[in-house]
Amino acid sequence: MTNPVTALYERIELDNPAKEEVGFPLVPRQSGTPEPDRVDQHPAGAYLISTHTPMSRSTAFSALNTAARLLGQEDIKSTPWHRIRYVEMNVLRSMLAEHYAPATANKILSIVRSVLRQAWKLGMTSTDDYERAIAVPAIPGTRLPTGRALEPGEIRALFQACAETGPQAARDAALLAILFGCGLRRTEAARLDVEHLDKAASTLRVIGKGNHERIAHMNAGVRAALDAWLKARGDTPGPLLCAMTGKGNRIICRRLRTESIRLILKRRASQARIRSCTPHDLRRTFITSLLDQGNDIAVASRMAGHRNISTTTRYDRRDERTNRDAAATIHIPYQAPPDEASPVQ
């Protein structure tokens, strides 16, 4: 019978290929140590099964593998997490600060702290050792925000790229409408079922980050795109956004994967001949557009499913546009020199 711990890691490993090993043996490897018989007896396993969604589990798995390799271990399951103390956490913090941006490094540290908490809950480490280890401070510093907000012309070009006939184009247009018109994360869009759609109220019931539900209101444009897609898909129960056959001429009642959503947008951006963009860029555009129209940031935060307004402020790209326009007002009295005649041979 397969060990549950091994089975859990193997399932998550499918979407997380091994990365190049870095670091040094900060925590000595233990050879011949038997694996726990149950997932909840392994600190990292206990933490992974406590996460709410496959996406958050995958993120945590990747972060813990990074930390494990920096600690000189083979991988997440061979790391003796319960033996990590303050000195190891402090060196790990230093190495993360050297190799990663502050936000990424702090996310990894936070996940490792959560695993140490599981070790404490399992009685594998003392309260004193646990509290000392998690007392390592966060890494200071910021980086410029990633991603961008699309210009109105780029949004139009994306939808024009889906103006062709056929079910695939209808599905892609509906996907774009949901991502941009409702500001959904790609995981939220992938989890939508037909039963989450309320046609009478023009709303979508969204299961968001942290397993929190919210209502997304659809405007006329989003509703029109969804109606066109449902005309091709039908109203049978199941995932709202379905996969297609290879040539996109037949609908398969199978849920779109989050990676498929990214690739769909990449392909449509290429067809539209615009700069590459991601599903989260459409979410940034949604929030920026709401604020551009004079909506209160608290409203935008609630519609985006953010639990903290400070998170919403990081999605606001209006300052970039304002700064660009301000920079254009500065006069630079530079004149290019006249072209010089070619030297006589």
Q: What is the pTM of this model?
A: 0.75
Tell me phi and psi for residue 172, to 5 degrees: -65, -40
Contact 242, 236 (CB under 8 A): no
Q: How far does Cα 142 stand from its chain's mean position?
A: 19
Tens digit of each residue's pLDDT (9 = 90 or more) over 58-109: 889 999 999 999 998 988 888 999 999 999 999 999 999 999 999 999 999 9
What residue has token string 């290879």?
A: 246
- Under the banding of pLDDT at 50, 70 and 90, the label for residue 25 is very low
Helix axes 279-292, 167-181, angle to 10 degrees: 50
Contacts of 191 (CB under 8 A, 6+ apart): 207, 255
Contact 245, 252 (CB under 8 A): yes
Q: CA dist 69 to 98, 136, 285, 344, Å?
A: 15, 19, 37, 64
Provide the 10 A C-beta neighbour count for residue 28.
Answer: 10
Kindly state which CATH superfamily the domain 153-280 is placed in: Intergrase catalytic core (1.10.443.10)
Cα 75 to Cα 79: distance, rounded to the nearest angstrom: 7
Cα 107 to Cα 180: distance, rounded to the nearest angstrom: 27
Contact 185, 283 (CB under 8 A): yes
Tens digit of each residue's pLDDT (9 = 90 or more) over 121-172: 999 999 999 999 999 999 999 888 888 999 999 999 999 999 988 999 999 9
- For the chain, the domains span 4-133, 153-280
Tens digit of each residue's pLDDT (9 = 90 or more) over 239-257: 999 998 866 678 888 999 9
What residue has token string 């043996």?
A: 25
